[in-house]
Chain A
C-alpha cells in the first residue's frame, strides 16, 4: 500500500473534528472497536483499520468531505456493502473511509421510462424488490445481491449468472450523480440513452472508486421473462461440457444462464444443499432458458439434443419452479459449500476464451499438485468467466501465501490463454501487482493519466488497481523532439 502520510496521522484529531463539523451526530466513527466492522471487505485475508469512518447522508456532505480531504491532502476510500472480493474497499491507515450506507433510499420508480433512480447504498436486490410487484427486475444479479450495493456494482461493473444475455452493470445503467475529489458534483446521463461527448458513464463503471464517489444511480429495469426452465446436464469430462456450451451458442441459442461446475464443486455443493446433483460426473452444466413458454419448451428440446450429441451422462429438465430453483440452489451456494469442506477458500475470477477451458483446467490441476492445495471450479460458462476456489487453511503457516501464489499462477494461465485477470471482481489490491501481466507500462501510464484527469493528487482509493502510482505531473510530461521527427516514409496520397 502507499506509504502512510505521517502528516495525516499527526493531524488525525483535527481531521475528525472537521468531519464532525460536516456530518454531525453519530456519523463519524473513530473508536477502534467501532471501526473494526470496516477493517476488511469480502477479501477477508486483508485487514486494516481506517483513520476514521464517516457516514454521510447527503450529496452536499459527500461534497464537503471530499473537498476538505482534497484541500488537506487526505486520502479517501469509498465503501458500499463491503463485499468486494478484490479488496477494493480495504481501508487505508491514513485514509478516511467514506461509507455510503446511509444512502439507502430508492428515489424514483419510473415504469413508463423503465428505470429506477436509487441512492448508491441501496442493495442490488433492493432495486428488484422495489419493482417486483409489477413484474419488473434489475437484470445484473451478482450472487452477493442481498448485501452488495448498487454504488459498489457501478464501481466494480458487477455481473451475475444472467449477464451473457442481459449484460453487466455497464449495459444496464443510464445515469449517475458523481462527486469528484475536488467536491464538485457532476451529473452524467439521465433517463436517455448514450452520452453527449465522451462516455463518462462507461468510464466510471468499473473504475473501482478511483475516479469519484457515486451518489445516485439510474438503472434500467426489465419485465421478468414469462417463464424459465433449466436443464441439469452431467458430462464425463469438462471437454464434453465445454463443447456442448460452444454448440449451444453455435446453434444461435443464448441461454439466460449457463453455468458449469467441476467435480469438487459438484460434490461440495451437493453435500451442502442436497440439490440432487449427480455425483458420478466430471462436469455439470446448468442451462437456463427463459422467455415465453412456447419458446422455452422448444429450446429445451434443442439443448437436450445438443447435450446428448456431446456425450451427456445425465439430463434433468426442471418440471416446476421449485425444481428449477433446486438446480440453482447448489450453484448459488457453491462458495459457502466450499467454505464447509475447507477452513478457508480463496476465490479467483479470470476470464478465458471458452474453448481454452480444457487446457486451463488441465494447467490448474498441475498447479494444484505443485502447490499441494485443492481447487474447485465454478464457471460462468457462457461468457468464459472462471471462478476457481482454492482451498487452504489460514492457520497453517505459509498456506495463505501458497494459496495466493497458486491464485496468481492461475491468473497468469488465464492471460496466457488469451484471457484476462478479472471478469467481474475487480483488480483492487488483490490483482494489482499482476497488472503488468496484461498491460505494458505504456498502457498502465495511460490509464493513470485518466485517473489524473479526475483526481490530480491521487487521493481517491490509492493503492488499488495500479501497481505503482506515478505523480500526475510526471505522467503528463512528454519528451518530444520538436520538428526533429523525420517526415515518416509511409504511403501517402
Chain B
C-alpha cells in the first residue's frame, strides 16, 4: 500500500493537503478504506487516512443533532444513538459483507458515498440529513458550510455537493447530521408469489396509500431463498415486503388497512418486530449478493414503476440475480464477471426513462476499463469538471475516482 498520512486534527489535515498541493502529488482520501473498492482506479502513491480523526464531538438528543469527526466509526455512532433510542433515519447500509471489508466504515465515508437504506423513499438519504461540515479543499484551505441547526439557507448548500462526492472536492474533518427518534416497533407484510410487474403495482399502491410505508421491496425466488428469516426463505416463491414502523396501535391499524387494500394480491403474511428487523437489515446491507464476491454487482436508481421492466431486461442475461427496493426504484443485481461487465446492457435497460447505474463491485480490470459511475451528458460533464476545478484545481484529491 502507498504511504499514508494520518492526521490527528484538522490543522494536520490541512498541512497534509497543503503539502500535496505544493508537491502536486495526487492523494487517495480514505476513511477506514471499507469502500475503497468502489469507483474508478486512481493513480496515487500517497493517501490521507482519516482514521485518527475520531469521536463524537456533540450529541444533543433533544435537539436531534450529532457532530462527529470524519473518521468516527458508524458502529460507534449507532451505538451512542441507540442508547437514546435514536437513529440515522436514512438507515446507512453496512456493505462490508458485499464488499468484503471489515466493517461498515466511517461517518466521512457514509457522507462521501451518500449512503441510503430502504427508508430512502420516506426519510431520504445521507444528503437529506447532512447539516454541516468542515473540510480542507484541494486548495489546501479549511472551509465550513452549513451549520448545526435543522433549517439553514445561508449560502450555497455545499453539504449537498459534498454528499456523494467520494472525496473528490475536499476532505471533510467534521460532520454534523440530523438524527431522529427510532420507531418503537415495526411489522412487515409479505405477499407471496407476485411477479415483478405485479409486485411493482402492489408496492406503488402501498406507497400511494396513507399507511406511511417505510420500506417496499421485492425479492424474486432465488433471492428470497437466501434470506435468514425462515418465513421468507421457506416461501419457495417470490416475496414482496412492505414495512410499517411507529407506535404499536398505529402500526397495527395501518397493517390491517394495508392488508385490506392489497387483498387482490393475495393473503399477506405478517412478520413480527424481530423478523421484520432482521429482514430489512439483509435488504439494506444487500447480503443476498454477498456469497460470491467474484460476481459483478450493479446498483441502479430508476423511477419506481420502471424497476420491474429494467430488472427484466437485465435478467435476459445468463445467471443474473437481483431484487428491487425503494418500491421498485432501486435495483441491485449481480452477475458473473465478464470482460465488459455488461455495462451496455445494464445501462441500456433504462434507456427512455431517467436513472443511473453504478458498478459497485467488480474486478480491478473492469473498474479500470468501464465508467463506474453513470456517464454524463456533455453539459453536465462540463459543469462537473468546473465544480471539481473550483474545489480542487490541481486534481489532487481522489483523481478520477468518479469521472476521468
Contacts and interface: CB of A to CB of B under 8 A. Distances in A.
A354 B356 contact: no
Nearest to A352: B149
Nearest to A245: B62
B286 to A, nearest CB: 16
Interface in A162-185: 163-164, 167-168, 170-171, 175, 180, 184-185
Given A114-B207, A490-B6, A192 B329 contact: yes
Interface in A291-349: 291-295, 298-299
A275 B326 CA distance: 43
Contact of A439 (B155, B210, B326): B155
B95 to A, nearest CB: 16
B85 A252 contact: yes
B128 interface: yes
A423 B152 contact: yes
Interface string B305-349: 100000000000000000000100110000000000000000000
A164 B129 CA distance: 12
Contact of B163 (A135, A187, A202): A202
B157 A170 contact: yes
B15 interface: yes
Interface majority SS (helix, strand, loop, mixed), chain A = loop
Given A442-B143, A490-B16, A384 B155 contact: no
A418 B150 CA distance: 12
Contact of B373 (A197, A247, A449): A197
Interface stretch (A29-37, A97-105, A219-227): A219-227
A482 B223 CA distance: 55
A163 B151 contact: yes
Interface stretch (A44-52, A203-211, A263-271): A203-211
B21 A194 contact: no
B63 A354 contact: yes
Given A192-B329, A192-B355, A485-B21, A292 B156 contact: no
A294 B250 contact: yes
Contact of B61 (A250, A294, A351, A485): A250
Interface residues of B, number: 105
Interface stretch (A121-129, A365-373, A450-458): A450-458
Interface in B93-123: 114, 116, 120-121
B210 A295 contact: no
Interface string A233-274: 000000000000011011011100000000000000000000
Given A198-B161, A424-B153, A442 B142 contact: yes
A199 B127 contact: yes
A491 B7 contact: yes
Contacts of B65: 353
Interface residues of A, number: 110
Interface string B145-188: 10111111111111111011100010000000000111010000
Interface in A448-487: 449-454, 465, 476, 478, 480-487
B302 interface: yes
A195 interface: yes
B18 A485 contact: yes
B354 A192 contact: yes
Contacts of A285: none
Nearest to A418: B148
Nearest to A482: B22
A41 interface: no
B43 interface: no
For B182, B184, B377, B379, the residue with the greatest tally of chain A CB atoms inside 10 Å of its CB is: B379
B243 interface: no
Contact of B355 (A190, A197, A482): A190
A396 interface: no
B274 interface: no
B324 to A, nearest CB: 13
A200 B393 contact: no
Contact of B5 (A168, A193, A488): A488
Given A114-B208, A294-B250, A353 B120 contact: no
A223 B169 CA distance: 38
A295 B208 contact: no
B231 interface: no
A187 B121 CA distance: 22
Contact of B181 (A249, A298, A418, A487): A249
Interface string A429-456: 0010001001110111011011111100
Given A298-B249, A449-B390, A485-B18, A194 B143 contact: no
B12 interface: yes
B151 A113 contact: no
B12 A490 contact: yes
B139 interface: yes
Given A157-B153, A476-B393, A485-B22, A194 B127 contact: yes
Nearest to A188: B380
Contacts of A207: 156-157
Nearest to B378: A184
A153 to B, nearest CB: 11
Nearest to A454: B383
Given A199-B127, A351-B149, A435-B154, A483 B22 contact: yes
Interface in B353-373: 353-356, 358, 373
B391 interface: yes
A442 B247 contact: no
A200 B163 contact: no
Per CB-CB distance, the 9 closest pairs between chain A and chain B, nearest first, are: A190-B354, A202-B160, A485-B22, A295-B250, A196-B356, A252-B181, A196-B374, A383-B150, A191-B303
18 contacts: A111-B208, A186-B377, A190-B354, A191-B353, A193-B121, A193-B301, A194-B125, A195-B356, A196-B376, A207-B156, A225-B210, A249-B64, A422-B153, A423-B151, A447-B155, A483-B24, A484-B22, A491-B8
Given A490-B6, A490-B16, 10 more contacts: A157-B157, A194-B127, A197-B373, A252-B181, A291-B246, A443-B144, A446-B390, A450-B158, A480-B22, A485-B23
